[in-house]
Every structure is written in C-alpha cells, then in structure tokens.
A and B are shown apart, each in its own frame.
Chain A
Amino acid sequence: MNGFGKPLKIALGLIVIAGLIIVPMNFNRYGLFILSQWAVMTIAAMGLNLTLGYAGQVSLAQGAFVGIGAYAAAIMTTHGWPLPAAIVVAVLLSFGVGWVLGYPALRVQHHYLAFVTLAFSTLAFLVFRNESWLTGGIYGISNIPRPHIFGIATNKPLPFYYVCLGSLAIVSLAVWWLIRSPWGRAFMALRENPLRAQSLGIDTRRYTLMAFAIGSALGGVAGALYAPLTQYIDPVPFNLSLSLDLLMMVIVGGAGFYFGPFLGAMIAVLLPEWLRFTEGYYLMLYAIAVMLLLIWSPTGILGILDRYLADRRTKAASALRAVAKSRLETVQ
C-alpha cells in the first residue's frame, strides 16, 4: 500500500473517519443498526485476521468467541454490572478459552486445525443452547441494557453507534500497534516459516497460543458489544455459520492485510442489505459475488489492489533502471 503519498493517505483516512462520524447522523434506526453491526463484525474479523492472516493459524471458531463474549456481557449487564466490567470479563474469558484452543494447533496444522476448531465451534453452540440455567437456552436473554458512557445514556441508536465506532477505533489502534511490534513480526514469522522462526529464537509455542488467545479475545470484545446492540441474544446467531461468515470476511477482504477485515465485514454486512431490493435473491447473489471474487483474486479484494500497486512499483523501478542505464551509456 506504499503507492500513495503519506499525506494523501492520512487525508484519506481522516475523510473516512469524519464520514463515519458525520454521515450516519441522519440515518434511521435500521441504518444505524447495520452500521453498528459492521463495526462489531469488523472487530471480530480483525481478531481472526490476527490468528489467520498474520499468524497463519486456521480457525473456524471465531463465531464461538463472539458468542462467549455476548453471553458474558448479557449475563453480567442484566445482573446490574456495568458494560466495561463485562467487556473485561468477556476479554479475559475468551482469551483463556482461546489459549486452550490454541493447544491443538501445536499438534496439528492446516485443515486438521480447521476441523478441530470447527468441532469446538459447534460444541460451544450446544452449550449455549442446552445450559439454560446460565444462558436461558433457546429462549435466550432479553432486555440487555445499553451502558451509560461518561454519564451519557446510549439507549438511542446513534449514541450506541458511537460506542461501537469508538470501540472499533480503540481496537484498530491496538491491532495497528500490535502488528508493528516484535509480536506482530513473530506472528508473521510463524506464518511464513515456523521452523525458521524457531531457529531464530522465537518461542513458536508461546506465539501460536498467543495468536489464538489474542484473536479470540477480540472476538469476545465484539460479542460484548453485540449483546447490548441487539439487546436480545439467543444461541442461533452464534452457530457455525457465524464462524464461517467471519472466515469469509477475512478471506474476501484480504487475509493478512490490515484493512482486509474492514472491507470484508463491509461486504458481508452491507452488501446483503444493498442487495435487499432483489428480495429473496440477495443471499444467492451474495454467494455468487463471493465465489466470483475468489476465482478472480484468491487473496481477496486487497490482494487485487496489492498486485496492482506491486505491478506499478516494478514498472516504475524498471523505468528508473532503464533511465539510469541509458545515462551510464551516454556518459561512456
């Protein structure tokens, strides 16, 4: 993404952020709900992007962590705890469970790991559905309160949208910092060549577990925001298809690209809404769009951009070389 000038990039970023703050002000209830959902799913997808895109560990269980976070938040806030406390618990809980789920990754990789995490995802769903003393079973938990932030009630859709957007901003900054820290480098080393990473003194064991735990913790954050967003949760949204959807978001956006999850979540959450005028056909069109995109560019949308920019850079570089060469020749 180095094709743009730095000031241009910053300006573009500021415009997008300002747009996200100002434009929704006159959105209706439903529009704000969808946009909040986009922010929440982006957080979950960013977590999966850390696990999958940066550290190269396939996980089909991110939806389960969104569920764990959502239930933690729902149970605590309906018992009178404030949401920030619930978020902390949701993060700790999903971090812990994610850490444990990382252990299979030390033994098996690739598709086998995908199957283990897939099984975990379905098991978590069964627990949400069957342990009704805790989760309300199929009846779910209703009347989940929305928080007061700095004394401001966020019951209305717009303030709560800002809560989601603010959380997204905080998570984005944290992830930005993380992937540029030595940890992020270690994750990428793990993805590119685990053996070599180990020979360079990286504790691959610890970083594999960390990749799972941190990615899962972000899933927990997303869940803890999802519960007050919908104000009612039951097990259905947290079944295997959420995990698959999140995986699709990461791949479609571009796994291993920082902005991949933003785009992927946009396509998964907003595209079906835009296609809603086609009525019953919208999910079909969405599925076809995803398949066509993947056939065209298996590395996702940002993969296309990346290739284009890489092309331009090589062309620019070879042009420079040609100029330099001809200069040398004229000197001689």
Chain B
Amino acid sequence: MSNLFDLLVAGLATGAIYALVAVGFTLLWQTSQTINFAQGEFVMLPAFLMLAAMHAGAPFWLAIILGILLSMLLLGLAFKMLLVDPMMRHGVLPLAIATMALAIGIKESVKQFFSAEASPFPSIVPTGDISILGHAVSLQSIGVLVVAILAVFGLTSLLNRTSLGHQMQAAAQNPTVARIIGVPVERMILLTFLINAFLVALASLLITPIYLAKFSSGEVLGQAAFIAAIVGGFNQVRGAIAGGLLIGVLDNLAASYVSTQYRAAVPLIFLIVVILFRPQGLLGRAEERTA
C-alpha cells in the first residue's frame, strides 16, 4: 500500500502541472478557438528564458520574474498579435497547423541558440523528504502540488468572483452579446493569452527541475496536457483541472501496474474512449458554441 500512496502523491504532483497547462489550453480554445499544438513548447521555453537570465548573471528570483514577464510578452502578447489575430477568422484548422509550425520553430530555436543537451534547473522547493502518516513524501511533490493548487485556486477565484473574471467568461461564451453589454471582448481575449503564458511559465518552473530543461521535452508534456484538457472537458476550466490530475495519476499507476512500455498507451486509450462515449469530456457541457 505504501507504494500506491507514493504513486498517488507523485501522480497528483505531475497531474497538477498538467492541469495548469491544460487550463491554459482550454482558456485559449474558449476565447479564440485556438488549438495550440505548441502548448508543450510553451512550457519548455520559459525554463530556458530563466536559464538565460541566470547565465546573464541574474539571481534565481530575478530570473524567475524575468522569465515569467518575457514569456507573457512572447507567448502571450506576441503569439496573439502576430499569429492568432491574423488567422483567427480563417477557422480552426489553418491556425492549428500554424501552431504546429510554431512548435517546430520554438524547438529548433532553443536547440540552436541554447543547447541540444539537457540542462539541470534549480528547484524552487528544497529537495528532501518529509514524513506524512508514516510515509516518506518528497518535498518537491508537495511543493509542486501546493503551488499548482494555489495557482488554480487563484485563477478560479479570478474567473468566478471578480467582475473581470465574469467579463472574461462572457467574452468566451458569447462574444456578440458580451460586446453589446459593453465588455471589451478584445481586451479579455488578450488577457486570456497573458494568463495562459503565465500558467505555462509557472508550469515550466515547477516541472523543469524534475525532468531537466531540454528542447524536446515539450512533446510529451504538450500531449499530456492536451489529453487532460479533452478528457476533462474542453470547454470547462474545472474539467481541465480534473483531467490533469486524473491523467497524472493514471500515467503513474500505468507505469507501475501495466507496463513501462505501454504506459503512454493508457491515457491515450482512455482519451479515445472518452471522446467516443462522452465527447464533451467528463465535466464538460454538451452544447458547443462553434460549429
């Protein structure tokens, strides 16, 4: 049983990171019908921005702030203005393809300008174990879980309790009516892009100490977040959170109970089953705004 407990904690920790990324993913979909195939690379990049800042001599805390600000500038503002805005009116598919090209571009840029090797990344949480209920649990897992939960909690309170959040939801659910009642829809969409950039930067900060900073690490992560978003419900923030946690746990359990070779297959099969029998996702609403 102790093994199962460890697996659950580790699974929840990675799942919480998936959830952060998946939430950003669903936010972009809701407000602008962007299926961001580069979301995994979006998580990979901020770690390198932070590393670059540290190479330039900045202390770790400053590098984190710079990294987050730069990613909001590049992955939020520039991504929206340069790629999404010109393509939004042409429908879902061309934009999705453009983000695939963007993913290649980001990956290759990091490989070219930084390094093709994996680089170690400092952890914001001290390493070591603490004992909970007689189990040794790594501080890192706990730290990741706490930060991710705080972030998700902050975001949901922003969305549900503030006027700004209500405006964002209105802009996502029905832009035409939102515009009529005076919601600055364009600004709200931009805001979701900035929030997504912040979330991926945070996820980057949390996951890179565990998996190292590598130009290709976005592929696995992007796919996990992707699956989490769909499984949970593509049009629901809380769905994406549940999906992320579920996929994290499922992935960890599959690795030790199914087979290491086919661990990646379990979430995929789960994804296919969910799409076929409950396409709106486990927590999603059935109705869809877009055709």
Residue numbers of A with Cβ under 8 A of B are 58, 104, 107-108, 110-112, 114-116, 118-120, 122-123, 126, 129-130, 240, 244, 247-248, 251-252, 280-281, 283-284, 286-288, 290-291, 294-295, 298-299
Once the chains bind, are B108 and A284 in contact (CB under 8 Å)? Answer: yes
What CA separation (Å) do A286 and B101 show in the bound complex?
8
CB contact list, B81-125 vs A, under 8 A? 83, 86-87, 90-98, 100-102, 104-105, 108-109, 111-112
In the complex, how many residue pairs between chain A and chain B have their CB atoms under 8 Å apart? 104
What CA separation (Å) do A126 and B261 show in the bound complex?
8
Q: Is the interface of A mostly helix, strand, loop or mixed?
A: helix
Smallest Cβ-Cβ distance to B116: which chain A residue: A280
What CA separation (Å) do A102 and B108 show in the bound complex?
34
Neighbour of B265 across the interface among A116, A118, A123, A298, CB < 8 A? A123
Smallest Cβ-Cβ distance to A239: which chain B residue: B219
Stretch at the interface among B67-75, B168-176, B267-275: B267-275
CB distance from B266 to the nearest CB of A (A): 10
Once the chains bind, are B35 and A284 in contact (CB under 8 Å)? Answer: no
Q: Is the interface of B mostly helix, strand, loop or mixed?
A: helix
Enumerate chain A residues within 8 angstroms of B105, measured Cβ to Cβ. Answer: 283-284, 287-288, 291
Enumerate chain A residues within 8 angstroms of B108, measured Cβ to Cβ. Answer: 280-281, 283-284, 287
Enumerate chain B residues within 8 angstroms of A123, measured Cβ to Cβ. Answer: 265, 268-269
Q: Known contacts A280-B112, A291-B105, A295-B83; can you find 18 more A-B pairs with CB under 8 A? A: A104-B272, A107-B279, A114-B35, A114-B96, A115-B275, A116-B271, A116-B272, A119-B269, A123-B265, A126-B261, A129-B261, A240-B223, A247-B97, A251-B93, A284-B109, A284-B112, A298-B87, A298-B91
What CA separation (Å) do A284 and B170 show in the bound complex?
38
B49 within 8 A of partner (CB): no
The 3 closest A-B pairs by CB, nearest first: A287-B105, A298-B94, A298-B90
Enumerate chain B residues within 8 angstroms of A281, measured Cβ to Cβ. Answer: 108, 112
Enumerate chain A residues within 8 angstroms of B264, measured Cβ to Cβ. Answer: 122, 126
Smallest Cβ-Cβ distance to B267: which chain A residue: A119
Once the chains bind, are A295 and B112 in contact (CB under 8 Å)? Answer: no
A-B contact pairs, 13 of them (CB 8 A): A104-B276, A107-B279, A112-B279, A123-B268, A126-B262, A129-B261, A244-B100, A247-B97, A280-B111, A287-B101, A294-B97, A295-B87, A299-B94
Assess A248 versus B275: contact at CB under 8 Å? Given A283-B104, A288-B105, A291-B105. no
